[in-house]
Amino acid sequence: MNRDKAWNILCEYTENESLRKHALCVEAAMRAYAEKQNADQDLYGITGLLHDFDYDRWPDEHPQKGNQILQDLGVSDDILTAIMGHAEYTNVTRESLLAKTLYAVDELSGFIVAVTLVKPDRSVLSVSPKSIKKKMKDKRFAAKVSRETIRNGISELEVDFDEHIEFVVKAISGIAGKIGLNP
């Protein structure tokens, strides 16, 4: 599996532009963490791109449906296990650093974008740990984003809350133009 093939799979199954943009955000954060962890950037990036590719078509069967499709395509067990583990309801344990990283950046990436969209300058770099914490307290803001999952992901990855937010913000800022935001 290479990045082009992963992108094509994402686009084949995901018509929703917001979900594609989310996949790009998670890919960017995953690649940045791979570099920081001296891990395989392509492995991490592909995992980020594909983690929700089945959600648009089969939200009630996500990620099991996608896992079967990817398995049939010969995708590595590392990727399959990480994707299954990012959804808590699958009860797949996140043991690898890849799986823990995906879990830690997925919900947070969506929340960072939501916070960015209410900033007057729509600049990702305007998002700070303080603004994330403030918006996390507002249960009505981006109500579908699980604050508990964000906290649990940070805890499982064993990173500092503020540093993790800053790191993911910086990663997303690198692709801001591709997703309709300012760096």
Q: Give pLDDT tens digits for 22-66.
A: 999 999 999 999 999 999 999 999 999 999 999 999 999 999 999
Q: Quick one: average pLDDT of 91-96?
A: 96
pLDDT at 28: 98
Q: How many helices (H) and strands (E) does the chain have?
A: 9, 0
Residues 6+ positions from 44 with CB-CB distance below 8 Å: 30, 31, 33, 34, 98, 101
Residue-wise pLDDT for 105-150, tens only, equals 999 999 999 999 999 999 999 999 999 999 999 999 999 999 999 9
Average pLDDT, the chain: 97
Domain boundaries, given as residue ranges, for the chain: 3-179
Q: What is the CATH number of domain 3-179?
A: 1.10.3210
Position of tokens 């579908």? 144
pTM over 0.95: yes
